[in-house]
Structure 1
Amino acid sequence: MFDTKFDATFDAEGMVSTVSTVTDRGTAAMNDRPTRVWNGVTIPEPGIYILDEAHKRIGFQAQHMMVSAVRGEFARGGATITIGDDPAQSSVTAHIETASVTTHNPDRDVHLQSADFLDVENFPTIAYASTGLAWRENNDAIFDWARLRNNPLTRRGAVTDVPEPSRSPGRFVLSGDLSVKDVHRPVDLTVEFGGARRDPYGQDIFGFSATTEIDREDFGLVWNVALEAGGWLVGKRIRIEIAGEAILQQPG
């Protein structure tokens, strides 16, 4: 077996500039750019990143018959993430192919693709474009407020106050506009940053997860059936759950 160790080089500010793997056969550089720390979180360097097709999930959840959850996902979609020199100035644009929806039930999937719901023939994509990003640390009350903002009756202006730096996981509120069919509405995502590093293939990557909740009827997805015992066949509230990795395409 080869003897292996890791060496790190630090710059004058104490930031990692090079991390190398050293074996008895030589040295392989794993990270030759500084790792930035912002609000106690290791963040990716500035640049343009794209969502890794092999490491993503665009999921959703809705109530069925008022008693259980049905989960589904979109198999195809992408995103471009621009990380700014100032991380708070970062931005996201994303799209989802509506015809790729699946709940692992063919009959239900055909119905979701029909004009009753997504109308994939006339509206092949769902789009999202961010309008702002705010550091939110571990404040669950702020996350609750962000979910309330997705109700157009309670939506307020952007909040710009930033709490003191923390060593907690990187958590943010990403504000943006969601377009479903021919309806465009503001929607906030609560985002947790998973970390940044260089992978074994030499690619700079970072991971994240994001959640939000919307009222589907706000986007024209109004089909339903009233139940004799009260309530509806399909829940109106939709929980959206996104997770993935992004790969650096163009350094800033």
Structure 2
Amino acid sequence: MSAPTQIPGYVTGTWAIDTAHSDVAYSVKHLGIAKSRGNFTGFGGTVVTAENILDSHVTVEIDAASVASGNGQRDDHLKTGDFFDVANHPTITFRSTGIREDGGDYKIDGELTWRGATVPVTLDAEFNGISPNPSNNNVDTIGVSASATVNRRDFGVGPEGNAFLSEKVKIDIEIQAALQS
């Protein structure tokens, strides 16, 4: 397996996201003065690394009902038709459509589907490296950090913007994935 020389330890293969060591989080301004934060506890997906890293791809599925903001009453409201509408749209998905270099980091172009709307989204990604994981039989493990800011109204989420809730939602992703094949 040949690999780009700029990435030590790079190997091709299919990697399963290790949800115990990964996080999908969000933040949105509330009242224009503070950020309300949360994450999703139910998600999974795969990363497929290709000979050329730019030919690699990623897919992620998020259980929308697993939203966890630290406030049960708010979580229950987020699950309703006012926001995530989990009864009709139980899954949020991201599927990459391309990867490109951006200085020492990468841009992962893709499609985010949320509440039935599919919108192009670009993740700013940092490849954190590959290392054997001693707690998982020394299986090669990859690490990636990524973030994007989306407009929740593009997906029909929540009320139109006002002083109460910003339309901009920042998504922060920390992925650790184990080599499967």
Match of 2:166 in 1: 235
Say whether residues 1:197 and 2:137 are aligned partners. Answer: no
Q: Contact 1:210 / 1:242 at 8 angstroms: preserved in 2?
A: yes
Counterpart position of 2:113: 179
Match of 1:215 in 2: 151
CA–CA distance in structure 2, aligned partners of residues 128 and 104 of structure 1: 24
Is 1:247 matched up with 2:167?
no
Aligned to 2:32: 66
Contact 2:3 2:51 in 1 (8 A): no
- In the TM superposition, residue 37 of structure 1 has moved relative to its aligned partner by 4.5
Of the two structures, which has the highest relative contact order with CA contacts closer than 8 Å and spacing of 6 or more? 2
In the alignment, residue 191 of structure 1 is paired with which amino acid? A
Task: Pick the aligned partner of 1:120 from 86, 93, 104.
Answer: 86
- Give the Cα separation in 1 of the matches to 2:151 and 2:54: 28
Instruction: From the superposition, tell whether residues 43 and 137 of structure 1 become closer, same or farther in structure 2 (CA, over 3 Å).
Output: farther
Counterpart position of 1:110: 76
- Which position in structure 2 is the counterpart of 1:95? 61
| Structure 1 residue 43, shift from structure 2 partner | 4.8
* Greater per-residue strand proportion: 2
Q: TM-score, normalised by structure 2?
A: 0.94
Unpaired runs of at least 5, structure 1: 1-33, 139-170
Q: Aligned partners of 1:35 and 1:104: how far apart in 2?
A: 45
CA distance in 1, matches of 2:32, 2:12: 45
Provide the C-alpha distance between the structure 2 equivalents of 1:36 and 1:83, rounded to a whole number of angstroms: 10
Distance 2:9 2:178 in 1: 13
Q: Please tell me whether Structure 1 or Structure 2 has the larger radius of gyration of its CA atoms.
A: 1
In the other structure, the counterpart of 1:81 is 47
Answer whether contact 2:123 2:148 (CA < 8 A) is retained: yes
SS of equivalent residue, structure 1 residue 108 = helix
**CA RMSD for the aligned pairs?**
1.6
Distance, in Å, in 1 between the alignment partners of 2:53 and 2:32 is: 41
- Distance in 2, matches of 1:35 and 1:88, equals 14
Q: Secondary structure at the match of 1:42?
A: coil
Which one-letter code corresponds to 2:61 in the other structure?
H
Counterpart CA distance in 2 for 1:79 and 1:47 is 14
Deviation at 1:44, TM superposition (A): 2.8
Contact 1:37–1:43 under 8 Å retained in 2: no
Gaps (5+ residues) in structure 2?
none
- How far the C-alpha of 1:61 sits from its partner, in A, is 0.2
For 2:10 and 2:93, locate their aligned partners in 1 and report how far apart those are by CA, in whole Å.
24
In the superposition, the TM-score normalised over structure 1's length comes to 0.68
Aligned residues: 179
